[in-house]
Each structure stands twice: as C-alpha cells, then as structure tokens.
Amino acid sequence: MLVAISLSLIYGVLDVLNWAIGDFAMLGGYILLMFLYIGIPPALGLIPALVIAFIFGVFAYLICIRRLEKAEPEKMGILSTIVTFGLSVFLQNVSLIVFGPTYRNIPNFLEGTFNFSGVIITSQRLLNFIVSVSLTVSLWLFLKKTRTGMAIRAVAQNREAAALMGISTSRIYLITFSISSMLAAAAGMLLGPITMIFPTVGNLMVLQVFAVVVLGGLGSVGGAIFGGFLVGLAESFGVLFLTSSWKDLFAFAIIMIVLIIRPTGFFGVRKR
C-alpha cells in the first residue's frame, strides 16, 4: 500500500511513471541496516532513516527527474520510463557493489504474537500495519490541511492554473517526489523484518505495485490504498483456500476481471 501510494502520488502530480520505486524501498531497508550496524536498534533508527530517504529523494529528483519538466506531455510517459528504469539499474548495481549479493534480514522491531479471536498475528506484522496506516493518515492530513498539501493537489488537478496562481510547480514537484521516495523507503524498512533485503528485491514488488495502482486507478492515492488492501486480502484468501504458489494468480485474476469491467480502475480519472 505504501509503495502504491508513492507511485500514484508521483504520477498524479508529475505524470512520471517511476519504475525505480521498488528500488527506493530496497534502499530504505539498507539504510535501516546501516543504522543497525552502528548499534542503533531498528525501532530507534526508523525516523532518521526516513529523513535520509527524503534527502535521497531530493537528490534523485534534482539529478534525474528535473530534466523532464520541460518535456512535451505526449513524450513524458516514454521519457520517464527510460529515465527511471535507468535509475533502477543504477541503484541495484550500486547496492550490489556496496552491500554484495548476500540476503540480509532486519531484526524484528517487536517480538511476540497477538491472538484476535483465534487469528494469530505477530507483533511485527501488527506494528507494520499500524505504522503504514499512520503514515497514510499523516499524508492525507498533509495534503488536506496544509498550504503545501493544497498546492500539491492544485498542481495535480491543473498545473497551468496552479502556476498562474503563483504556485512554484518545480518546488511542488521536488517536494512530491521526495515524500514519495520516503514512503517507498518506509515500506522497505517495514519489509526487512518479514522478508530478506537484497539488491534486486525491488524487482519482485514493482510489477505487483503497478498492478495495485492500475486496479485502484493510476494517479489516485485513495485508489492505491483500496487496491493495496484488495490485493493483500486476495492473496491471503488465495493461500487459505488454495496454496501459496497460487496466491499471485488469485490476485491478478481479480485485477483482470475488474479492468475488463472498468478499464480506468476503481477510482481512476482521465488525465487532461
């Protein structure tokens, strides 16, 4: 859900399809691992790691994405795909050189389990849910209640009109991309204790994330939230009633059915 929100936010505001979004999540896991190596527990390193991820997003935008601002709208899709795919390859290879191909695991932030009427869930997964929802609510409040958030929404709706009202679109693009990078990195940090972190882990999630975003509606943050929950539940019920090897088929079958009925996804809107 967090990575899908990140992808939708970037596309909704910048019209950029960020194929490196999974690699930002991968970097989030490695940033938290570096804090662990210097003796800082993962729970304490989460906030400063998010700050570092935000700063990384600033540099990634200034170096790679800013050059796309003057691109013709009809060429934005292919240009953003080429640039972000190149960024993905670069980040994977740098991570491979720095951290090596070894699969690494982040220790659990919390230990133990909870029993909810016979449904057992680990403390770590419950914490992941709480943090993910908290970050999502914080983003919603930021977009709805702050001047910068309202400016982001204005640019997403009509960038020319927003510019005429005195809003700096370049500044909004920078802030949006950096926030999106931070959200994706947060997902990687929460993923670390559950699965392994390795240089190409982003490749495993990017196609699924794109499927979630398309299901909810490309460019819709609310659609990304809904799509993330729907795909997650579909996979869980697929494992329950079939086997774990069929869970992806179960989820993507639902996506295909929805898109046949509604090609723009549940909350999709046509771009101007």
88 belongs to a structural domain: yes
pTM of the shown model: 0.87
Q: Is residue 226 part of a domain?
A: no
Residue 270: per-residue pLDDT? 54
Structural domain contains residue 97: yes
- The mean pLDDT of 125-148, rounded to a whole number, is 92
Going by pLDDT thresholds of 50, 70 and 90, the confidence category of residue 212 is: confident
- For residue 126, what are the CA distances in angstroms to 19, 114, 239? 29, 8, 19
Residue 180 lies in a domain: yes
Asked which of 14-23, 66-75, 241-250 is least confident by mean pLDDT, the reply is 241-250
- Range of the structural domain that residue 16 is part of: 2-199
Q: What is the pLDDT of residue 265?
A: 74
Is residue 23 a part of any domain in this protein?
Answer: yes
Per-residue model confidence as pLDDT tens digits over 31-52: 989 888 888 887 788 889 899 9
Would you place residue 245 in the very low, low, confident or very high pLDDT band (cuts 50, 70, 90)? low
Does 15 fall in a domain?
A: yes
Q: How many domains does the chain have?
A: 1
pLDDT-derived band at 268, boundaries 50, 70, 90: low
What is each CA distance from 266 to 4, 55, 184, 209, 247, in whole angstroms? 14, 33, 22, 15, 22
Q: How confident is the model at residue 251 (pLDDT cuts 50, 70, 90)?
A: low
Average pLDDT along the chain: 85
pLDDT greater at residue 186 or residue 39 = 186
Looking at the domain assignment, is residue 222 inside a domain?
no
| pLDDT tens digits for range 144-170 | 999 999 999 999 888 889 988 889 999
Cα 104 to Cα 32: distance, rounded to the nearest angstrom: 11
Q: What pLDDT does 269 receive?
A: 56
- Angle (deg, nearest 10), helices 2-14 and 221-241: 150
Question: Does 225 score more than 80 pLDDT?
Answer: yes
CA distance 258 to 223: 13
Is residue 33 assigned to a domain? Answer: yes
Amino acid at 4: A
Which of 6-10, 57-61, 128-132, 251-255 has the weakest average pLDDT? 251-255
